């Protein structure tokens, strides 16, 4: 059984999508339409911008979404039976299973990115990757720190990203090292994604989602918050809103997809991050990429 999975923030690169743009007229039309929807020339930033341009949240998120949906078009809906996306990637997954149209998805991604950037600017906050420490220990240490710091991304066994106020994240990193973590690395992001500090962004995204048409899913999406297959549009909406302040449970989502029959995961979009994570979650399954 085939599953399509879609990457999130961090998989962007300069030149992303340019080859696709030049490969087919329907993809060129789709990508030019993205410029119209957004009201600025995002394609020039994707194709010829700098790393710094692409690191801005309000550019990164739409760029990855556009690239992922363009790649999806090349697959012509080849027989997948379930989809999932890592954080931002969940929006690409919802285009793949017919819940969102491309332009509605892009508008939501742009609204989400802008709201997240505003929330980041309002609070000195950051994230850190904790390597080689049991999830339960990471959770326990986070709960003991003064200030806001929470588990944010359950990426694969032995890799959990934490998120929160910068001082609390730094303190947690020291405690993690003392507890035996192989590494505790501050990440080059200027915000606490998937933490309570995203509450203002969540409220703005909720308003945008409520004004967007969500259709019935053709195949289930395994959402970051529930980790189980969901097809009901109202439930999908609720989970998408909760995702901004809640953790990305990628390990649990992949495990549930495998339990429900997934044997081959295809990463659709820029980079190969998810393939590496999935292999660490379960070495038996087949992984490949479409990019």
CATH number (domain holding residue 244):
3.40.366.10
Residues 52 and 116 in one domain: yes
Tell me the CA distances in angstroms from 235 to 50, 75, 99, 217, one per residue in order.
38, 27, 12, 11
Structural tokens at position 89: 């990637």
Residues 224 and 182 in one domain: no
**Residue 73: inside a domain:** yes
**DSSP for 120-187, written as a single string:** HHHS-EEEEEEESS-HHHHHHHHHHSSS-EEEEEEEETTEEEEEEEHHHHHHHHHHHHHTT-SEEEE-
Q: To the nearest 10°, the Cα dihedral for 251, 257, 261, 263?
A: -60
pLDDT for 144 equals 96
Which residue, among 8, 43, 11, has the nearest Cα to 27 in the 3D structure? Answer: 43
**Residue 285: inside a domain:** yes
pLDDT for 70 equals 96
**C-alpha 196: how far from chain center:** 17
Catalytic residue among 11, 92, 110, 194: 194
pLDDT for 291 equals 73
> Rounded to two decimals, what is the model's pTM?
0.94
| pLDDT per residue rounded down to tens, the chain (291 residues) | 999 999 998 888 999 999 999 999 999 999 999 999 999 999 999 999 998 888 888 899 999 999 999 999 998 766 799 999 999 999 999 999 999 999 999 999 999 999 998 988 888 899 999 999 999 999 999 999 999 999 999 999 999 999 999 999 999 999 999 999 999 999 877 789 999 999 999 999 999 999 999 999 999 999 999 999 999 999 999 999 999 999 999 999 999 999 999 999 999 999 899 999 999 999 999 999 887
What total number of domains does the chain contain? 2
Residues 34 and 113 in one domain: yes
Q: Of the residues 163, 186, 209, which one is the last residue of a structural domain?
A: 186
Interior/surface letters 197-216, b for 16+ CB within 10 angstroms, e for the rest: bbeebbebbbebbeebebee
**Residue 191: inside a domain:** no
Q: Which domain holds residue 38?
A: 2-121+196-290
Annotation marks residue 194 as catalytic: yes
pLDDT for 54 equals 87
Catalytic residue among 11, 68, 87, 126: 87
Residues 253 and 206 in one domain: yes
Residues 131 and 13 in one domain: no
CA-derived radius of gyration, the chain: 18
d(Cα 113, Cα 183) in Å, to the nearest integer? 29
Cα 261–Cα 265–Cα 267 angle in degrees, nearest 5? 150
Structural tokens at position 13: 């690169």
pLDDT for 77 equals 60
Residues 134 and 228 in one domain: no
pLDDT for 71 equals 95
pLDDT for 189 equals 78
Structural tokens at position 192: 């606490």
Annotation marks residue 264 as catalytic: no
Residues 110 and 132 in one domain: no
CATH number (domain holding residue 175):
3.30.70.250
Residues 207 and 83 in one domain: yes
Instruction: Specify the residue for token string 């203002």.
Output: 200
Structural tokens at position 6: 């879609």
pLDDT for 155 equals 96
Strand order in the sheet with 125-131: 149-156, 159-165, 125-131, 183-186
pLDDT for 148 equals 96
Residues 105 and 63 in one domain: yes
């Amino acid at each position: 059984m085939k599953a399509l999975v879609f990457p999130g923030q961090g998989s962007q690169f300069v030149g992303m999508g340019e080859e696709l743009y030049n490969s087919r007229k329907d993809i060129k039309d789709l990508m030019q339409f993205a410029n119209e929807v957004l009201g600025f020339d995002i394609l020039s930033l994707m194709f010829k911008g700098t790393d710094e341009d692409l690191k801005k949240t309000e550019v990164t998120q739409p760029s990855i979404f556009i690239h992922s949906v363009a790649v999806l078009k090349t697959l012509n809906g080849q027989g997948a039976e379930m989809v999932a996306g890592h954080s931002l990637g969940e929006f690409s997954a919802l285009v793949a299973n017919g819940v969102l149209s491309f332009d509605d998805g892009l508008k939501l991604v742009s609204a989400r990115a802008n709201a997240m950037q505003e929330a980041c600017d309002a609070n000195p906050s950051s994230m850190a990757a904790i390597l080689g420490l049991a999830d339960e220990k990471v959770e326990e240490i986070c709960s003991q720190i003064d200030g806001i710091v929470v588990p944010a991304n359950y990426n694969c066994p032995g890799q959990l990203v934490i998120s929160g106020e910068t001082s609390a994240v730094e303190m947690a990193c020291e405690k993690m090292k003392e507890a035996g973590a192989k590494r505790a690395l501050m990440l080059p992001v200027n915000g606490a994604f998937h933490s309570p500090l995203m509450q203002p962004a969540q409220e703005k995204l909720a308003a945008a989602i409520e004004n967007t048409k969500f259709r019935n899913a053709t195949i289930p999406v395994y959402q970051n918050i529930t980790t189980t297959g969901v097809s009901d549009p109202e439930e999908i909406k609720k989970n998408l809103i909760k995702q901004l302040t809640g953790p990305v449970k990628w390990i649990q989502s992949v495990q549930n997809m495998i339990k429900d029959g997934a044997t081959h995961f295809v990463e659709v979009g820029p980079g190969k991050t998810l393939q590496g994570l999935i292999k660490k979650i379960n070495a038996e399954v087949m992984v490949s990429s479409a990019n």
